[in-house]
Amino acid sequence: MKSVEFLIVGQGLAGTMLAFEMLDRGMDFRILYSSQKSKASMVAAGMINPLVFKRLTKSWMVDELLPVMKERYQQLEQLLNEPFFHQKQILKPLSGQEKESWKEKKQHSDYSKYIGILSDIPPINGLTEMAAYGMVEQAGYLNLSLFLEKAEMYFKQKNLLLDETFNFRDIQKNRNITFGPSKLKADKVVLCEGYHLSRDPLLPFVKMNPVKGEVLLIHAPQLSEEYIINKKVFVLPVGNHYFKVGSTYEWEDLTEQPTEKGRESILQRLDDLVTVEYTVVDHWAGVRPTIADRRPVLGQHPEYDHVFVFNGLGTKGVMLAPYFAHEMCKSLIDSNYVLPEEVNLRRFWA
């Protein structure tokens, strides 16, 4: 009977990045995932945006996150022999009021490396007329579906991946947990199951606020692929004049089925942004594992010391995952390592 120290449950973005960290450190682990269970990561756009447009502020911890993120994904591109990390400016059409705000923030040294050129003339054809057009630097996207597919193949080749359905009842209130048909024994389990964490009877105190998002794939031959365009909807080039377009936010319907309502919402905002003709090619939906306070959740269960969580990466997951996978590993190796309070699982424990 096989025995390992750590079992990672889930092979979405969180589980995959944690697994690569463990691999680098020579830790004893396996990944348990179900190919029958969808991953929100597989349908996410994977966009990297250092700014929060609504209030024009820097994204939380962006100065610390971006250098780690860039180095890590470039390392993994070399390891997996596949380009999936793409640096690309975001083009943001601006209203008159937004233009003044951007001009003001651009003067601050804290923002100057993220806010690029401001222009009154659109840098590409096919956009509706606006007061100005701003550029966001140090932006881009991770081709998540390609990354996760290549990572899955890599872990399978190393016999580190088990395709089995996880049952929360398998978590005993003691160590030496036995999982599934493979009868794999594990000393510790790390839950990286996305929004499915909300169904875990051991973690009812974690305040999750999962939200469904829908994304379209369009073909627009006359639209430039030079930038990611973002104005109430993102238009992200993925090659050969195909673009991912989204997204929606739905808190009631948490199924993973695309809806006509979602499609119409995206298309209405797209038509307000671009003037070119396009064809809708595909339509996806997924549920984001968002935590109520919009911060990831990491750490050890307050009662069961063999149960750990690495979850809740949410909409900024591509930026957050490399940094916090590193933090999570440090806490797994060193029981005295104190995770930051803002992300520590124990913040939900009364």
CATH 3.40.47.10 fits 3-43+145-207+292-348, yes or no: no
304: which 2 tokens? Answer: 């069961």
Cβ 242 vs Cβ 218: under 8 Å: yes
Cβ 33 vs Cβ 205: under 8 Å: no
Domain spans of the chain? 3-43+145-207+292-348, 89-138, 211-288
Q: What pLDDT does 106 receive?
A: 92
Q: What pLDDT does 34 receive?
A: 77
Beta-sheet strand order (sheet of 85-87): 47-48, 140-142, 85-87
Q: What pLDDT does 42 receive?
A: 59
Amino acid at 81: N
Point out which residues pair with 4 in neighbouring strands.
186
Q: What pLDDT does 180 receive?
A: 64
- Measured distance CA(20)–CA(210) in Å, rounded: 26
Identify which of 71, 91, 74, 92 has the alpha carbon closest to the alpha carbon of residue 82: 74
Q: What pLDDT does 171 receive?
A: 67
- Measured distance CA(338)–CA(278) in Å, rounded: 51
Q: What pLDDT does 305 receive?
A: 87
CATH topology (fold) of 211-288: D-Amino Acid Oxidase; Chain A, domain 2 (3.30.9)
Beta strands per DSSP E along 88-198: 90-94, 115-119, 132-136, 140-142, 161-163, 177-179, 184-191
Q: What number of residues does the chain have?
A: 350
**What residues in the chain have per-residue pLDDT under 50?**
none
| pTM as predicted | 0.93
Q: What pLDDT does 47 receive?
A: 94
Phi, psi dihedrals of residue 13, rounded to the nearest 5°? -65, -45
